[in-house]
Amino acid sequence: MTAAAHPTRFAVDVYRGRLQRAAAEAASRDVGALLITPSTDYAYLLGYAAPGFERLTCLVLSADGRASLVVPRLEEPLARHELGELAGDLAIIPWDETEDPFWVVRDLLDAGVMRAAVQDQMWARFVLRLRAALDPIELVEAGPSLAALRRIKSAEEIDRLRAAARAADEAMDRIRGTRFSGRTEREVSLEIRDLLLAAGHESADFAIVASGPNSASPHHDPGDRVIEAGDALVLDIGGFRAGYGSDTTRTVFVGDPPSEFSELYAVLHEAQAAACTAIRPGVAAQEIDRAARGVIAAAGFGASFIHRTGHGIGMETHEEPYIVEGNADPLLPGDAFSIEPGIYLAGRWGARIEDIAICTDDGGEILNQSSRELLVVE
């Protein structure tokens, strides 16, 4: 078996390149080694999702490019199998139950290493034991090094994001063609999950169905409320296809919407379009947020837009870059992120429109193509 044989994996040279770039990124930040436990970062670098147990599994990637994998001996066969051809590029070091794996990690670090970066989601018990074993080496976050790599999507990654967006659009279009009134939020949510899977997703991770006053809660958990005429409905759906995420939101109205809601939605539609139009390389991420927020604030709804305009997406639903005030980092070609302004009037209704966008060499590409108009449903 080679690493590329798995449907979510890339060719082995992709992972070789990622390891090399991660080591170079660490070196540029004066980090002597990256210590990466099972996580999305681990899967990004090695091509497989290792089990995260109480026994330490840790990729030790030195700034000079040397890669070692410290694994419990009982996990070694699985690691070699999953790594395939890439296993030949790593020093795989199994440890026995009576050994202390944290000192195994220590022995892999060069004497001159003064800073080592630990994976952001590493268990606290591992971080504390590494700190003790590696003292006086300073432990810092690995996040900045890995985020600098992961935020810039390759052409093949963008193709996967496009396919995931198309599949989500298909599920969204199908659900918007069904009857909503008389059904519970939970019933509709379960149908959306089935539609996502039918459209090609391997997982349907979320299907927010927020009706009536619940539509003013951005992360509402679908419940037993029965949908009825006069309800605004926020539908926020997504999952993973070939290892890459989808995330799209549309708002519908059961029956004819009152003019007050139609006017609110028109403002939201304009704000979302303004943010999408503002995308181009070199523009600070916060400027995209400002483009949407300015339209909403000018219409008097500024206090009702209560979250950032967007988040990065890739192997995780939320990752760098974040489209929010205070993020002055310039957008770069290959950045993938959501554009999702919302307006929420507590106790009454809410609305949100969300698409996934790619920063290109000369502007932006919007991946989702389903209608953004306010659709009237039964």
* pLDDT surpassing 50 at residue 4: no
Question: What's the whole-number mean pLDDT along residues 198-220?
Answer: 97
What is the SS3 assignment for 222? coil
Q: What is the reported pLDDT for 2?
A: 37
Q: Which two tokens stand for residue 164?
A: 């995931």
Q: What is the DSSP letter of 214?
A: G
Q: What is the reported pLDDT for 6?
A: 64
CA 189 to chain centre: 21
* pLDDT surpassing 50 at residue 292: yes
177-205 per-position pLDDT tens digit: 999 999 999 999 999 999 999 999 999 99
Q: Is the Cβ–Cβ distance between 199 and 193 less than 8 Å?
A: no
118-166 per-position pLDDT tens digit: 999 999 999 999 999 999 999 999 999 999 999 999 999 999 999 999 9
Q: Is the Cβ–Cβ distance between 292 and 271 less than 8 Å?
A: yes
Q: What is the reported pLDDT for 152?
A: 97
Q: How far apart are CA 76 and CA 57, in angstroms?
A: 10
Helices marked H in 84-176: 101-108, 124-134, 143-150, 155-175
* pLDDT surpassing 60 at residue 176: yes
Distances (CA, A) of 6 to 47, 70, 83, 86, 157: 9, 23, 11, 13, 15
* 346 phi/psi in degrees, rounded to 5: -55, 135
Distances (CA, A) of 107 to 60, 75, 101, 102, 130: 11, 20, 10, 9, 12
Question: What's the whole-number mean pLDDT along residues 293-315?
Answer: 98
Q: What is the DSSP letter of 109?
A: S
Q: How far apart are CA 331 and CA 185, in angstroms?
A: 37
| pLDDT band of 52, cuts 50, 70, 90 | confident
| pLDDT band of 8, cuts 50, 70, 90 | confident
pTM listed for this prediction: 0.94
Q: Scanning the structure block, which residue is given the tokens 């959306």? A: 192
Question: What's the whole-number mean pLDDT along residues 238-261?
Answer: 97
Q: Do domains 3-150 and 155-377 have the same CATH topology?
A: no
- The domain limits of the chain are 3-150, 155-377
Question: What's the whole-number mean pLDDT along residues 99-119?
Answer: 94
| pLDDT band of 7, cuts 50, 70, 90 | low
Cis peptide bond N-terminal to 144, omega within 30: no
Q: Which two tokens stand for residue 37?
A: 């436990």
Q: At what angle do helices 185-198 and 155-175 cross, to 10 degrees?
A: 140
Q: How far apart are CA 110 and CA 132, in angstroms?
A: 17
* pLDDT surpassing 90 at residue 364: yes
Question: What's the whole-number mean pLDDT along residues 265-286?
Answer: 98
* 343 phi/psi in degrees, rounded to 5: -130, 125
State whether CATH 3.30.70.100 applies to domain 3-150.
Answer: no
Mean pLDDT of the chain: 96
Q: What is the DSSP letter of 154?
A: -
Q: What is the reported pLDDT for 162?
A: 98
* pLDDT surpassing 50 at residue 366: yes
Q: Is the Cβ–Cβ distance between 246 and 193 less than 8 Å?
A: no
State whether CATH 1.10.3720.10 applies to domain 155-377.
Answer: no
